[in-house]
Amino acid sequence: MKPKLLPIHIYGDSILREKLPECSLDDAKLKDFIRDLSYTMYQRDGVGLAANQVGSRLRMFVIDPEWAREEREPNPIVMINPVIESSDGETENEEGCISLPGIYANVRRPARITISYTTPDGERVTETVEGFKAVVIQHEYDHLEGVLFTDKVSTLAKLKLKRKLNDLAAQAVDGKNVREGLPDA
């Protein structure tokens, strides 16, 4: 079956503010969903995409932190029911988000994290990561908690972003703000 491009839920959509409950791996639709989620991430030129960004309440995300930097084959890493076990250090990076088109800001986060998660094969894995991969994981993990990167920026940066955020939120109807298809190049 051909992978499907999933609709993107944009800032102002209430599902982006939901904390997603743990999901079961027995879900028959899980395999198709993982394939479509990964496909949609690459089609949007993203390095990470969480389930609620495409309107699903499955507690999982996909990442491919190397994708934007290297010309190479896709290597999607799916993390199901992830738990950040510990974190330390500090790093600051400019972040953006497929659900917040046109918005970028510096975000401070722990530099190193230990995360455990279940793979699509059902294996529970624990690993310690740092660098860009740790930033991407924390950004996606936040989505599963209903948190967006703009919640974490400085007060001054928040003020600067306010109008753009309000413009995005103004497009929401009945708590939904969904974009189908690909954005114009």
Q: Check: CB of residue 41 under 8 Å from CB of residue 76.
A: yes
Catalytic residue among 22, 85, 92, 140: 140
By the rule CB under 5 A, 34 interacts with Zn ion: no
Nearest to 128 by CA among 76, 81, 75, 88: 88
By C-beta, is 25 or 104 nearer to Zn ion? 104
Question: Could you tell me the smallest distance in angstroms from the CB atom of residue 17 to Zn ion?
Answer: 13
Nearest to 135 by CA among 116, 105, 152, 112: 112
Q: Which residue is nearest to Zn ion (CB)?
A: 97
For residue 139, give the DSSP letter: H
Taking contact as CB under 5 A, which single stretch among the options 15-23, 60-68, 75-83, 92-100 is the one that binds Zn ion? 92-100
By C-beta, is 25 or 178 nearer to Zn ion? 178
Interatomic CA distance for residues 99 and 24, integer angstroms: 25
Give just the sign of the alpha carbon dihedral 165, 167, 168, 169: positive
Taking contact as CB under 5 A, which single stretch among the options 1-9, 36-44, 81-89, 94-102 is the one that binds Zn ion? 94-102
CB count in 10 Å sphere of residue 88: 11
| Residue 140 annotated to the active site | yes
By C-beta, is 35 or 46 nearer to Zn ion? 46
Task: Give the count of residues interacting with Zn ion (CB under 5 A).
Answer: 1
Question: Could you tell me the smallest distance in angstroms from the CB atom of residue 70 to Zn ion?
Answer: 21
Interatomic CA distance for residues 108 and 86, integer angstroms: 16
Question: Could you tell me the smallest distance in angstroms from the CB atom of residue 40 to Zn ion?
Answer: 13
Integer Rg of the chain from CA: 16
Across 27-104, the runs of DSSP E, i.e. the strands, are 48-50, 60-63, 77-88, 91-95
By C-beta, is 25 or 55 nearer to Zn ion? 55
Q: Using CB under 5 A, which of 41, 63, 78, 97 touches Zn ion? A: 97
- For the segment 58-87, give every residue that binds Zn ion (CB under 5 A): none
Query: Which residues are identified as catalytic?
Result: 140
| Contact footprint for Zn ion (CB under 5 A) | 97
